[in-house]
Amino acid sequence: MDFRPVPLFLLSAWAASALLAQPPVPQAILGEETLRISDHVWAIMGWPNVAIVVGNKATLVVDTGLGPRNGATIARIAKRLAPNNPKLYLTTTHYHPEHASGEAGFPPGTILIRNAAQQRQMDEDGRAMVERFAKITPLWTELLADAPLRTPDITFDNELKLDLGGGVTARLLWFGGAHTMGDELTFVEPDRTLVSGDVVQNKFFPLINANGGTPASWLAVLDKIAALNVLHVLPDHSAPGDGSLVASEKKFISELRSRAMELKASGVSAEDAGKRLGPEFKTKYPDYPNLNDNNVTGFVKHVYAE
């Protein structure tokens, strides 16, 4: 693997996974093992974690992995979990390449769905982002060599409810901007399982993309999620957990936002506030692998800009 230094803006997006601290780029090839999250939801744990939701008429996959080779792996597992389901739906948590560039690996007839805000970001920045990622290592160049980004079959504004059969429904939800402007949430009933993307993580510092939401909009999204009464959470870049992750995410963002606002009110620059809050939060939250001065300063700047 190539160890060329990775641009910071990219590193911050994955420095997250403790396992992946060395070497500096994530292991982008998904395996074939699955972890059962709830009655109707399985996960392939990797970069990113991918959800497979199984009803008795249709299967829904959330996220594609990096490039079509990973997409094909996921499609194979989905088929293995439900060999007789005639319908395969695919949606993506956001437009970043490890979540959305593997669509071409899925079989013909796969129904691609995405919220309109996410599709706008895909149209504006999707291709450029794939090209940036393709320069990072030779393996990624290969994975992304032929990764067409096709137009979804269905787009929706705020909510789309999919009946997967056998009483299983998936509510695809857009609650507003957080990590990106187009963050999509999938809530599976009756399991009460939330496939949360970057919006609810498990001990993972919240990263707001340059074209993402604000700390305030992220908190507003979390309030809407809290009303769902979630039982299980599958995040994209951290370990699965129970519904308490929703409140933990809100607590973390609220605390950091409040501290940043205090420092702003007392005339401290965003840069200095970041330097102060980095160590402060590292002490308070020692088990967040991607909690570092760089990411804290980035977040603080978003608070200052609100």
C-alpha to C-alpha distance for 24 and 5, rounded to whole angstroms: 8
Q: List CB contacts of 144: < 8 A, sequence separation 6 or more.
A: 66, 67, 97, 101, 130, 133, 134
Is residue 237 a contact point for Zn ion (CB under 5 A)?
Answer: no
Supply the minimum distance, in Å, between the C-beta of residue 296 and Zn ion: 18
Cβ 236 to Zn ion shortest distance, Å: 8
Shortest gap between Cβ of 11 and Zn ion (angstroms)?
Answer: 13
Total number of residues that touch Zn ion (CB under 5 A)? 1
Name the residue nearer to Zn ion (CB basis): 73 or 209: 209
Asked if 194 contacts 43 with a C-beta cutoff of 8 angstroms, the reply is no
The tally of CA atoms less than 13 A away on the side-chain side of residue 115 is 26
Report which DSSP code applies to 104. G
Nearer to Zn ion, 55 or 97 (CB): 97
Least distance (Å) between residue 166 CB and Zn ion: 32
Query: What is the Cβ-side half-sphere exposure of residue 178, based on CA atoms within 13 angstroms?
Result: 27
Q: Which is nearer to Zn ion, 210 or 265 (CB)?
A: 210
Q: Which is nearer to Zn ion, 182 or 274 (CB)?
A: 182
Residue whose beta carbon is closest to Zn ion: 96
Q: Which is nearer to Zn ion, 121 or 169 (CB)?
A: 121
Instruction: Tell me which residue of 15, 280, 200 sits closest to 297, measured CA to CA.
Output: 280
Q: Distance between CA 59 and CA 107 in Å, rounded?
A: 13
CB of 92 to Zn ion, least distance (A): 10
- How many residues are recorded in the chain? 306
**Closest by Cα among 228, 232, 250 to 241:** 232
3-state secondary structure of 237: coil
158 residue type, one letter? N
- CB nearer to Zn ion: give 40 or 96: 96
Minimum distance, C-beta of residue 94 to Zn ion, in the bound complex (Å): 5
Rounded to the nearest whole angstrom, what is the least distance from the CB of residue 185 to Zn ion in the complex?
Answer: 14
Distance from the Cα of residue 105 to its chain's centroid: 20
Amino acid (one-letter) located at 142: E
Per-residue contact track with Zn ion, 41 to 80, x per CB under 5 A?
----------------------------------------
What is the spatial order of strands in the sheet that 111-115 belongs to?
35-38, 41-44, 50-54, 58-62, 87-91, 111-115, 154-156
Please state, in angstroms and rounded to a whole number, the distance separating the CA atoms of residues 277 and 292. Answer: 10
CB of 278 to Zn ion, least distance (A): 22
Closer Cβ to Zn ion, 45 or 111, answer by number: 45
3-state SS, residue 165? strand
Helix (H, G, I), strand (E, B) or coil at 111: strand
Q: Return the residues of window 79-138 that contact Zn ion according to CB under 5 A.
A: 96
Print the binding letters for residues 182-201 with Zn ion: x by CB under 5 A, - otherwise.
--------------------
Residue 74: strand, helix, or coil: helix
Question: Is the CB of 69 or the CB of 96 nearer to Zn ion?
Answer: 96
> Judged by CB, which is closer to Zn ion: 96, or 114?
96
Output the smallest distance, CB 96 to Zn ion, in A.
Answer: 4
Question: What are the backbone dihedrals phi and psi of residue 12, each rounded to the nearest 5 degrees, phi first?
Answer: -60, -25
Q: Where do contacts with Zn ion occur on this chain (CB under 5 A)? A: 96
